[in-house]
Amino acid sequence: MVTSDAPCHIAERSGSSLPAPAAGIAESAESRLRGNSYLALKNVSCDYRDGILVLRGCLPTYYLKQMAQAAVARIDGVERVVNEIEVLAPSRREIVRV
């Protein structure tokens, strides 16, 4: 079940820090997600441009979607996070009896 009709969650950060190089910010965000204790966050990709960090990928719950956003929200140079992660219910596998 794809919940693509749900609006994207946008978080803005007040205050400004010295901007870091764009590639470094995207790499830092992905590194933070991969180092997180929630293993599913390793499947989230990040793009950064002009202070905006965009999160993309698929996760099984809205909770994990929020955790991904929270994990990257306070990175220096990130003024806004656009969360485009899709929440997909885990597929049910049919048991085939032989």
pLDDT tens sequence across 27-85: 999 999 999 999 999 999 999 999 999 999 999 999 999 999 999 999 999 999 999 99
pLDDT value of position 20: 53
pLDDT value of position 92: 52
Residue 23 resides in a domain = yes
Antiparallel, parallel or unpaired: β 80-83 and 52-56:
parallel
29: Cα within 13 Å, side-chain hemisphere: 34
Residue 96 resides in a domain = no
Q: What is the chain's Cα-based Rg? A: 15
> In whole angstroms, what separates CA 11 from the centre of its chain?
12
CB 69 within 8 A of CB 77: no
CATH code (residue 36): 3.30.1340
Q: Which of residues 2 and 44 earns the better pLDDT score?
A: 44
Total count of domains within the chain = 1
Residue span of the structural domain in which 56 resides: 9-87
CB 68 within 8 A of CB 62: no
C-alpha–C-alpha distance, residues 46 and 72, integer Å: 10
